[in-house]
Amino acid sequence: MNKHLLPVRAWLMAGAVILVFLMSQCVEEPFEPDITGTIKGQVKDSDTGDPLENVTITTKPATEVDVTGADGKYTIAKVDTGVYSIIAEKMDYNGKILRVRVNEDQTSRVTILLSESDRATSDDISFTNQFTPVEGAKNQPIAPTLSWQTQNETNSDSLSYDLYLYPSNSPVKTRVAHGLSDTSYTVDPLHYNSVYYWQVRASDDNGTESYSKTLSFKTLGISDNSFFFVRKNKGDYDIMAYDRQRDQVHPLTFNNYRDWAPKINPRNQRIAFVSDSMVKPYLYTMNKNGSNIRRVTDIPVDGYHNYGNAFDWDEDHGKLIFSHYQYLYEIDADGSKMKAITTAPEGRHFREVEISPDGSKILALAIGEKIYNSAIYLMNRDGSNPQVLIDSLEGIVQSPSWSIDGNSILFTHDISGNESLNGRMLNNQIFRLNLSTRDTLGLSQHKPSGTNDLNPRYSPTGAHIIFTNAPNDGSEPPEIWMMNENGGNREMIVPEGELPTY
């Protein structure tokens, strides 16, 4: 063998060993590239060529929504590649739909020409600049009164008005009032922290008409010290917001279903809740102002005596946990990656669940076919190592919730011991359980007789407890109360409400 080749071979072998070592130390990270492009363009009047503002641009399949400014331009960024329909809508103009292909890392530019819709107009009917709220007004109430004035040569008593109102993220114009004789109108509650456009059409007895300019305003935002609750409305339930700063109560959901058990994730400002709009109580999320409602689960939050309470946010991981009969699941907030965590004890279903403040534990109420056959369990976040905290008490036990520091829990117990099959409670009281000592302390010592304290939860500071109080015979609607963390200074703060939560 050539002695001069030995060092070369040794060097090659050493290099190979180093390369194998380096490769063994490298862990391939999963990579999911963003294969997206951008849609840009401008909307113009087809007759004059002037840019058109306040044109709502949407796409199908749905992506983002944009509204053109004074230059008529729009942009929809980070659109998945593919073919889309662009939909352009503006009050008093004929809408238009155009198709466009979006390619990776490219900008597709589309100019849209809109023509005015046909309508009879009269120079005798014109609007003044006296509009309320004024163009661009902010912090407007969510049930604002819109007003306008006209100046015309004909008798103003012969005029009638139609009012159009629509949110900035909607391509659909909505007529909210027809044939008004007054020049003002108070609209139904709108979403918090949202931009709306509005316009008035005036018409006379001859059928001629005139349109006002399109104006916009923005509703006020929800204050940070607001809390959310449920209120019965004509047999169904709406989710409400109580703004303590302004002492105002406004609905976040408006429909003929049972919207139930709101729970907010302070990290993403989304509210999770259940709704029986599909008969069973499925899990949904929405923005803090009630907009952008999305269904999360394909299976209902259901089980023994379960009205949809059994779910909670895992704030740190952007997930939700929820129960389906005897099973406890976790799921991403977008409805993906659902998997089972654990199973309830034999003969019981999970009815209420709550994750600890540090995200490491789950507090759960499991209940049997008889509503008073219940127990409170503590387990690890992955469902392992379940421990019984409370069991075998006479009377119904329910509503476990965490303290702010995670060292204790609240729960309720009907100390009357009543165990009727219909679940009626006679003297339900709030208790605090110290998890270290397992000592309990009653907090309902000042509760009016003949009533039940229900659904307790701590305020964000831990200084107060918010809860429901209701007559034990159901003769009056439940009310929302607040007290100090030791049970003192009870105060009714919202009539007709239940299931309060921060």
Q: What is the pLDDT of residues 277-303, one digit of tens each?
A: 999 999 999 998 888 899 999 999 999
Comma-separated ranges of CATH 2.60.40.1120 domains in the chain? 36-114
How confident is the model at residue 341, as a pLDDT?
97
Measured in whole angstroms, how far is the alpha carbon of residue 410 from the centre of its chain?
26
Comma-separated ranges of CATH 2.120.10.30 domains in the chain? 227-501
How confident is the model at residue 7, as a pLDDT?
42
Q: Which CATH architecture has domain 36-114?
A: Sandwich (2.60)
Q: Are 350 and 316 in contact (CB under 8 A)?
A: no
Task: Report which residue type is found at 453.
Answer: D
How confident is the model at residue 34, as a pLDDT?
54
How confident is the model at residue 80, as a pLDDT?
85
pTM here is 0.69
Task: Report which residue type is found at 500.
Answer: P
Closest CA to 345 of 365, 323, 366, 376: 366
| Ranges assigned E (strand) in 392-444 | 397-402, 408-414, 428-434, 440-442
Q: What average pLDDT values come out for the chain (502 residues) when binned by 10 residues?
A: 41 40 37 70 87 90 87 92 86 83 89 75 75 93 93 68 86 84 92 89 86 90 86 92 85 89 91 94 93 94 93 93 98 96 96 96 96 96 96 94 97 96 96 97 97 97 96 97 97 96 92
How confident is the model at residue 206, as a pLDDT?
80
How confident is the model at residue 29, as a pLDDT?
37
Q: Are 362 and 321 in contact (CB under 8 A)?
A: yes
How confident is the model at residue 152, as a pLDDT?
61
Closest CA to 63 of 90, 100, 32: 100
Closest CA to 54 of 67, 41, 71: 67
Q: Is 428 exposed, middle or buried (0-12, 13-18, 19+ CB in 10 A)?
A: buried
CATH class held by domain 125-219: mainly beta
Measured in whole angstroms, how far is the alpha carbon of residue 158 from the centre of its chain?
44
Comma-separated ranges of CATH 2.60.40.10 domains in the chain? 125-219
How confident is the model at residue 21, as a pLDDT?
37
Query: Which residues make beta-bridge pairs with 408?
Result: 434
The residue assigned the tokens 């008004």 is: 180
How confident is the model at residue 76, as a pLDDT?
93
- At the topology level, CATH places domain 227-501 in Neuraminidase (2.120.10)
